[in-house]
Homo-oligomer: A and B are copies of this chain.
Amino acid sequence: MPAEISGLRMTRQRWEVYRLLMEQRDHPTANDVFIRIKDRLPNISLATVYNCLEALTAHGIVRQVNFDREPSRFCPNHEEHGHFHDRRSGTIHDVSFKPGINLADVLDLPPGTVITNVEITLRGELPASPIAH
């Protein structure tokens, strides 16, 4: 376990939360993390999971992702990306811009506007897998 990541002191709990997010990149909720992490940290509390996720988020190590009023989800992908929620499977997928596309270029904003944060969420259906028929 590293002593720190991006200036955030690592503790056993923070490290295990971080590892879990890196290993299972399916955008779990705090409660999902709490349930999954019990194997490794049987005594961790849900409040601590929230604390760890907040600390990781505040230091830019993970991203908090919100879909409407649903519980927040967490994502360790640092690239600029949006999220596609597939209604068929319930899964959430990272979505990038096509190469060369810049969000500020396609939006009609007053010149001089500073964008500090962007969130793009999509819902819909991915095409049926070509393997399943």
Contacts and interface: CB of A to CB of B under 8 A. Distances in A.
Interface residues of A, number: 36
B69 A96 contact: no
| Chain multiplicity (copies) | 2
A90 interface: no
A114 B87 CA distance: 10
Contacts of A108: 95-98
Given A98-B107, A107-B98, A108-B96, A117 B122 contact: yes
A66 interface: yes
Given A84-B109, A84-B113, A116-B124, 19 more contacts: A66-B66, A66-B68, A87-B116, A96-B107, A96-B108, A97-B107, A97-B108, A98-B105, A98-B107, A101-B106, A107-B122, A111-B127, A113-B125, A113-B127, A114-B124, A115-B122, A117-B122, A117-B124, A118-B122
Interface of A: 64, 66, 68-69, 72, 82, 84, 87, 95-98, 101, 105-127
7 smallest CB-CB distances across A and B, nearest first, come from A112-B127, A117-B123, A115-B124, A101-B106, A116-B124, A114-B124, A114-B125
